[in-house]
A and B are shown apart, each in its own frame.
Chain A
Amino acid sequence: MAPKHPSDTARPLMALLYDKTVRSIIYQVLVFGGVFFLGWYLVSNVQTNLDEQNIATGFGFLDREAAFGISESVISYSPQDNYGRALAVGILNTIKVSLTGIILATIIGTLIGIGLVSKNWLVRFIGKSYIDLFRNVPLLLQLFFWYALITNGLPGVRQALNPLPGTFLTNRGLYIPIPADNPAWFWVFIAFVVGIIGSFVLRRWSFKRLEATGQVFPHLSVGLGIIVGLPILTWLLFGAPVEMNVPALQGFNFKGGLNMSPEFFTLLLGLTVYTATYIAEVVRSGIQSVPKGQSEASTSLGLKPSWTMRLIILPQALRVIIPPLTNQYLNLTKNSSLAVAIGYPELVSISNTTMNQTGQAVEGVAIFMTVYLGISLLISVFMNWYNKRMALVER
């Protein structure tokens, strides 16, 4: 191996250097030393800087009064509340726009993904053009564009568009009527939740029965019936209240009803349109990953087409689709941070304001990085769990 060395004493040392374990230890010590030193150097600099310029540190500010207003919030918030609550509002707003965006992007993306494998050339062409167009333009630019279009293109409050009775479209957002306050709606919601739980239980039971007796129970349609029927029944029981809370022009703005602000709408639109292009590709590759033979075999076994889809195609396609899909969900959530550019008060934008009012940049950045890391970890833990569950069981 090593060439003969004139000096005998140097030999063991050289050999040692060529030894794999020793070398690996040396490398690691070097890397460790480097990283450790860098970390120590940076942290000590921060300390000196903060001390020297007399900049405040610590998370004590979270308890102090925030004193700034936030335009929209899931929980109640007023400027008297503390910074901690303001940040919580930001986190909830992030979750709100991300969840809505995920649902919409999945629906649109799936439709386009199916269009991409259509037999119709025009449908495929439209699908591909959509993807090319919205994928190759930066999301931030799209957001600015939609925002400018909404605030400049739509009329002011006094000249609001009125596309449907009770619904108003202005450059202050979309106002739609919602059912007026009534205890009935609370119970309808409860009935809805009970319906979902009930249909899950039903599904369990029907699978057990299938395995035990071989009899098929139409659990899907019955389950759906429960989910829809139970709330309707509850609503009827409460005397079928139909009173609506209709938005009306009062002072400067519309009051009442449900308001979707231009900032929220822009962000939702941008995230949905952009992420849908990626989801469409994911769905397409999922569909194409299932060999044709599978559906042919299933048909020749005499399975109904709906069963073929549900029992043969979907489970296999989903196995390919789910991992990249989760990645897209994660990307959408992270991209929602671009809201800072158009003024939707999500986590990054509120942290930003907090940083500026308190001057504590280190803490502010630390908070929102931790929250995003937390969300990412949570989703990847879920993914691993799901992958294990979905993995092919080989017998």
Chain B
Amino acid sequence: MTSMIPSQARPTGGTTWKRSVRWLRNNLFSTPLNSIVSLVCIYVLWEILSALVGWGLVHASFSPSKEFCGEVSGACWAFVHDNYRFLLFGTYPAESQWRPLIAIFMLLAGILVSMNRRFWSPWLAVAWVVGFFVMYIILGGGVLGLRPVSSNNWGGLTLTLILAVVGIAFAAPLALILALGRRSEMPFVRVICVVFIEVFRGVPLISVLFMASLMFPLFLPDGVSINKMLRAQVGIIFFQAAYLAEVFRGGMQAIPSGQYEAADALGLSYWQKMSKIILPQALRLVIPPTMSTFISLFKDTSLVTIIGLFDLLAATKAAINDPTWRQQYIEGYVFIAIIYFCFCFFMSRYALYLDREMHKGMSH
């Protein structure tokens, strides 16, 4: 994949000053029209940036006390100071909040480790499964002298991260199975996979979540209940797996049929053919759309707010509905928008990096 951004001025010769001038001339002031456009852009950017900086920094109150909120025209960041624990941990019992803190660090560490290609092995999957188990015990408690905490009280950023990471960890393998199923030669398997994929892709996520929270309990035998968070988690996994399956299928379709034929000619079994020949090539091709599906999944976890789970967004809404902080709604939304932005932006940059890494050494 080559990007076709117009080539920039070649940095040859001259002092830095001269080079900058040349760059400006080539990129911003090449023609009279271009110059006008540049000036307009500079004006617009200046207006926006000065308004943002003015609100968020210059005219803002950074005091942890709320009493200064009325005195400043900009943001009152005391909101963050007073509510950050609530936003991070939701209604988790205050004296035990070190537990979700550990869970957050475990998740972040897991993500960072998994991003490094050197650690990519089956052991990583095992480590994740063990990690999830440990995290579940730390959060849920009930053993080792930890006070039991119902998952109803898991909230805030902790819940958002759990939903996102567990979602990704389970959606990817499910999507792989669905994609293989859809390309299978067995008609019945294919039909089931097609129906599953198309149904979940055809409806909005919110309807899947409604189904999981409102309707699914009726599908269980009388009296049996599956935890609401788990139901929402499964809904998210199924929904994103359907999208991801189509991404994977696209990758498999892009592999020339010669590769399949060659593998067959070598006498490889179906699973050998897929795991050794086709999938390594196919998955490499679809890194960018896969990562954007993961980003969607991360953003979509916010929808659980609507079915009453207490994720980061729901916690923020609860915080700003408090009469004390009702005037600070912009601060609240901006603060968590930055959190969401950091995660998503980071993921999209990682996708670019990984895509480049994976295509290193492949001649084009």
Known: A120-B38, A139-B299. A372 touches B333 (CB 8 A): no
A161 contacts the other chain (Cβ, under 8 Å)? no
A187 contacts the other chain (Cβ, under 8 Å)? no
A216 contacts the other chain (Cβ, under 8 Å)? no
| B295 contacts across to A, CB distance below 8 A | 136
B221 contacts the other chain (Cβ, under 8 Å)? yes
Q: How many A-B residue pairs have CB under 8 A?
A: 152
Query: Judging by beta carbons under 8 Å apart, are B302 and A141 in contact?
Result: yes
Chain B contacts to A: CB under 8 angstroms: 4-6, 8, 27-28, 30, 34, 37-38, 41-42, 44-45, 185-189, 192, 198-199, 201-207, 210-211, 214-215, 218-222, 295, 299-300, 302-303, 305-306, 313, 317, 320, 329-330, 333, 336-337, 340-341, 344-345, 348
| B199 contacts across to A, CB distance below 8 A | 373
Interface size class of A (residues with CB under 8 A): 35 or more
Known: A32-B188, A132-B345. A362 touches B337 (CB 8 A): no
| A337 contacts across to B, CB distance below 8 A | 204, 206-207
| A365 contacts across to B, CB distance below 8 A | 207, 210-211, 214-215
Q: Chain B's nearest CB lies how many Å from the CB of A42?
A: 4
Query: Judging by beta carbons under 8 Å apart, are A138 and B300 in contact?
Result: yes
Chain A contacts to B: CB under 8 angstroms: 24, 27-28, 31-32, 35, 42, 45-46, 48-50, 52, 117-126, 132-133, 135-141, 144-145, 148-149, 152, 288, 334-335, 337-338, 340-341, 348, 352, 355, 361-362, 365, 368-369, 372-373, 376-377
Query: Judging by beta carbons under 8 Å apart, are A338 and B42 in contact?
Result: no
B interface, over-half SS = helix
| A352 contacts across to B, CB distance below 8 A | 210
Known: A24-B186, A119-B6. A334 touches B218 (CB 8 A): no
What are 12 A-B pairs at a CB distance below 8 A? A46-B218, A119-B34, A122-B45, A137-B299, A137-B337, A138-B340, A145-B337, A335-B204, A338-B206, A348-B204, A365-B207, A373-B203
Q: Determine the residue in chain A with the shortest Cβ distance to B343.
A: A136
The 8 closest A-B pairs by CB, nearest first: A136-B344, A376-B202, A334-B204, A122-B41, A121-B27, A337-B204, A138-B302, A138-B299
Q: Chain B's nearest CB lies how many Å from the CB of A345?
A: 15
Pick the contact of B210 from A124, A341, A348 — CB < 8 Å? A348
Query: Judging by beta carbons under 8 Å apart, are A120 and B41 in contact?
Result: yes
| B299 contacts across to A, CB distance below 8 A | 136-139
Pick the contact of B340 from A136, A148, A152 — CB < 8 Å? A136
| A140 contacts across to B, CB distance below 8 A | 302-303, 305-306, 313
| A348 contacts across to B, CB distance below 8 A | 204, 206-207, 210
Q: Chain B's nearest CB lies how many Å from the CB of A162?
A: 24
Q: Determine the residue in chain A with the shortest Cβ distance to B338.
A: A137
Known: A48-B222, A137-B337, A362-B215. A123 touches B189 (CB 8 A): no
Give the residue among B28, B42, B207 with the most A Cβ atoms within 10 A: B207
> Could you tell me the distance between the alpha carbons of A119 and B44 in the complex, rounded to whole angstroms?
18
Query: Judging by beta carbons under 8 Å apart, are A144 and B306 in contact?
Result: no
Give the residue among B186, B203, B340 with the most A Cβ atoms within 10 A: B203
Pick the contact of B222 from A52, A335, A362 — CB < 8 Å? A52
| A31 contacts across to B, CB distance below 8 A | 186, 188-189, 192
Q: Determine the residue in chain A with the shortest Cβ distance to B224.
A: A45
| B189 contacts across to A, CB distance below 8 A | 27-28, 31
Q: Chain A's nearest CB lies how many Å from the CB of B14?
A: 19
> Could you tell me the distance between the alpha carbons of A120 and B207 in the complex, rounded to whole angstroms?
43
Q: A118-B37, A334-B203 are in contact. List 16 more A-B contacts (CB 8 A).
A: A28-B187, A31-B188, A119-B27, A119-B30, A136-B344, A140-B306, A140-B313, A141-B333, A144-B317, A145-B330, A145-B333, A334-B204, A337-B204, A361-B214, A365-B207, A365-B210
Q: Chain A's nearest CB lies how many Å from the CB of B216?
A: 9
